[in-house]
């Protein structure tokens, strides 16, 4: 959530930033916030003035009663009662203005960093780096991963439909073991990089969803357990970042680095066709997430380290990749800056997103009340929060399968062989 200080002091910059993010009605929303804040502040000032007057009158009542001037004291008591009634009305006005202002603020996205390019959609994203060392031969005839998975009996999509519905595949035999290998590899790499592993809940309460910006759920992505009013997590970012909700952290403890494996659940499965076929887009998938809590001065150094970490994973997996700096119109609601990593699909002949790394600056921290105490002057300030996929399994699995296929099976990347216990994904039983 944007801070009132930022909106009040840098109104035009905020409006321009929201317009860069393609937020419709940016000026109107900001003006609403300022108007509600004006009503709230004026009501608070009147309340404070009334309280001060009541305190003064109370002293007079005591003095008059001592002097035996009961009638005059009673007149003042009537005045005090009138002020208290006015206080109640003012409090109601102030509470409503505060609630209305908060509701508007919750619907306003984060503003982009100055380095974010202009653009309405993904067509304006900028490729800032690519590594085509392991690019597949375009002349080779290759099968799409969904055909390979069926050929070697590694994933059963139909069985998933029978049990649950579309978007919930069943992983079989070596593929189930391969999934665990990827998860263990990603977690081990995160541990080596100094991240503390967390095993979080897969359901969260409303306050947690509000804190990281998944609620209000404008796109209908969250699975909601109505009876308990709990939400299935769309990413481990939600429970892990909420560990620090309503906390004041000593500056000496920062940056805090956490990682977590979790299943992720998302109702919205995108468009129809090849974009959602096979493992391209699922309602349930596995992911390892990295999260950082940092100071504003150091958060962009942390951000670079996170980008380097994800890139190193793709290098070790021997995958062709490129890195995109997302334009304003293609960024998430909460991001201040975001880079996507995409790997190339040999059979689909297109790039598939496998990771997003974002710096939210103070936006999430303001919603979370996640703060730190400066070491120099003990001042309490908002933290910066960051997160990234490191990595999401479905599309990584898809590109590994398509880019490493042979007539006998799918070659397992060398770095994963010790985790798997085999070097070929096929329908043969594990020894």
Residues 179 and 206 in one domain: yes
Q: Which residue has the higher pLDDT, 6 or 52?
A: 6
Residues 101 and 130 in one domain: no
Residues 327 and 367 in one domain: yes
114 domain residue, yes or no: no
Residues 143 and 260 in one domain: yes
> Looking at residues 405-428, what average pLDDT do you find?
94
368 domain residue, yes or no: yes
Domain end call among 106, 137, 162: 106
pLDDT-derived band at 271 (thresholds 50, 70, 90) equals very low
Residues 90 and 191 in one domain: no
Q: 108: which DSSP letter?
A: S
pLDDT at 248 over 90: yes
74 domain residue, yes or no: yes
The CATH number for 296's domain is: 3.30.930.10
> Looking at residues 272-276, what average pLDDT do you find?
61
pTM recorded for the entire structure: 0.92
Q: 352: which DSSP letter?
A: E
Helical segments of 67-214, H only: 70-106, 145-151, 157-163, 174-192, 206-212
pLDDT at 295 over 90: yes
CB 359 within 8 A of CB 384: yes
CB 328 within 8 A of CB 119: yes
pLDDT-derived band at 155 (thresholds 50, 70, 90) equals very high
39 domain residue, yes or no: yes
The CATH number for 70's domain is: 1.10.287
Residues 271 and 187 in one domain: yes
pLDDT for the residue 86: 81
Residues 337 and 409 in one domain: yes
3-state secondary structure of 261: strand
Neighbour-count burial of 387, counting CB atoms closer than 10 A to its CB (0-12 exposed, 13-18 middle, 19+ buried): buried
Domain end call among 75, 106, 137: 106
Among 105-119, 146-160, 227-241, 268-282, name the one with the lowest average pLDDT.
268-282
Residue 36's alpha-carbon distances to 24, 30, 40, 100, 367, in angstroms, are: 20, 10, 6, 7, 18
270 domain residue, yes or no: yes
Which of 262, 265, 200, 281 lies closest to 231 in space, CA to CA?
A: 265
Q: 273: which DSSP letter?
A: S
Percent of the chain with pLDDT over 90: 82
pLDDT at 370 over 60: yes
3-state secondary structure of 169: coil
What's the number of domains the chain is made of?
2
243 domain residue, yes or no: yes
Percent of the chain with pLDDT over 70: 98
pLDDT at 291 over 60: yes
What domain range is 48 assigned to?
4-106
pLDDT at 270 over 70: no
> Looking at residues 2-14, what average pLDDT do you find?
97
- Distance of alpha carbon 284 from alpha carbon 301, whole angstroms: 32
Residues 156 and 222 in one domain: yes
Dump the DSSP string for 290-347.
EEEEE-TTTHHHHHHHHHHHHHHHHHHTT--EEEEEPPGGGS-SS-SEEEEEEEEETT
User: What is the four-CA torsion angle of 25, 331, 401, 142, rounded to 10 degrees?
Assistant: 70
> Looking at residues 9-16, what average pLDDT do you find?
97
Residues 47 and 176 in one domain: no
Residue that the structure tokens 């809590």 belong to: 293
Residue 161's alpha-carbon distances to 153, 168, 220, 283, 328, in angstroms, are: 16, 7, 21, 12, 37
Indicate the average pLDDT of the chain: 93
pLDDT for the residue 273: 54
pLDDT at 277 over 90: no
Residues 95 and 132 in one domain: no
pLDDT for the residue 272: 52
Residues 56 and 163 in one domain: no
> Looking at residues 43-56, what average pLDDT do you find?
84
Among 15-24, 212-221, 368-377, 409-418, name the one with the lowest average pLDDT.
212-221
């Amino acid at each position: 959530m944007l801070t009132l200080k930022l909106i009040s002091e840098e109104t035009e910059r905020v409006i321009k930033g929201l317009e860069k993010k393609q937020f419709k009605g940016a000026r109107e929303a900001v003006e609403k916030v300022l108007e509600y804040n004006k009503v709230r502040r004026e009501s608070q000032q009147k309340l404070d003035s009334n309280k001060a007057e009541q305190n003064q009158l109370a002293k007079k009542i005591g003095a008059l009663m001592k002097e035996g001037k009961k009638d005059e004291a009673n007149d003042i008591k009537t005045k005090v009662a009138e002020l208290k009634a006015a206080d109640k009305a003012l409090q109601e006005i102030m509470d409503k203005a505060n609630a209305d202002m908060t509701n508007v603020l919750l619907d306003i996205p984060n503003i982009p960093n100055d380095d974010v390019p202009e653009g309405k959609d993904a067509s304006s994203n900028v490729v800032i780096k690519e590594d085509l060392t392991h690019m597949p031969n375009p002349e080779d005839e290759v099968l799409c991963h969904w055909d390979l998975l069926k050929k070697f009996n590694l994933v059963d999509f139909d069985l998933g439909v029978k049990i649950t519905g579309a978007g919930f595949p069943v992983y079989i035999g070596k593929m189930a073991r391969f999934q665990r290998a990827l998860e263990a590899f990603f977690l081990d790499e995160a541990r080596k990089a100094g991240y503390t592993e967390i095993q979080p809940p897969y359901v969260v309460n409303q306050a947690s969803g509000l804190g990281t910006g998944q609620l209000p759920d404008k796109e209908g992505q969250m699975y909601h357990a109505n009876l308990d009013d709990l939400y299935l997590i769309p990413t481990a970012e939600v429970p892990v970042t909420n560990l620090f909700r309503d906390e004041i952290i000593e500056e000496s403890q920062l940056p805090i680095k956490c990682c977590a494996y979790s299943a992720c659940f998302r109702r919205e499965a995108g468009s129809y066709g090849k974009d959602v076929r096979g493992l391209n887009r699922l309602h349930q998938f596995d992911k390892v997430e990295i999260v950082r809590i940092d100071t504003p001065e150091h958060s962009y150094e942390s951000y670079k380290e996170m980008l380097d970490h994800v890139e190193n994973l793709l290098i070790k997996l021997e995958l062709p990749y490129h890195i995109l700096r997302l334009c304003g119109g293609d960024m998430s609601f909460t991001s201040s800056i975001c880079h996507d990593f995409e790997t190339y699909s040999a059979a689909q002949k297109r790039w598939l997103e496998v990771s997003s790394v974002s710096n939210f600056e103070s936006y999430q921290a303001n919603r979370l009340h996640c703060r730190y105490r400066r070491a120099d002057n003990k001042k309490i300030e908002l933290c910066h929060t960051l997160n990234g996929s490191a990595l999401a399994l479905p599309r990584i699995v898809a590109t590994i399968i398509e880019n490493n296929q042979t007539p006998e099976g799918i070659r397992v990347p060398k770095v994963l062989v010790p985790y798997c216990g085999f070097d070929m994904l096929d329908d043969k039983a594990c020894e």
